[in-house]
Amino acid sequence: MQKLAKREEQIMQSLWKLEKAFIKEIIAELSDPKPHYNTTATIVKILEEKGFISHVAYGNSFQYYPLVSKDEYQKQILGEVMNNYFDNSPLALVKFFAKEEKIKTEELEEIIQLIKNKK
Q: What is the mean pLDDT of each run of 10 residues along the chain (119 residues)?
A: 91 97 96 94 97 96 97 93 91 86 85 85
Q: What is the pLDDT of residue 119?
A: 66
3-state secondary structure of 1: coil
Domain ranges of the chain: 6-66, 70-118
Model-level pTM?
0.81
Q: Rounded to whole angstroms, how far apart are CA atoms 37 and 34? A: 9
Q: Rounded to whole angstroms, how far apart are CA atoms 68 and 119? A: 30
Q: Which CATH number fits domain 6-66: 1.10.357.10, 3.10.129.10, 1.10.10.1100, 1.10.10.10?
A: 1.10.10.10
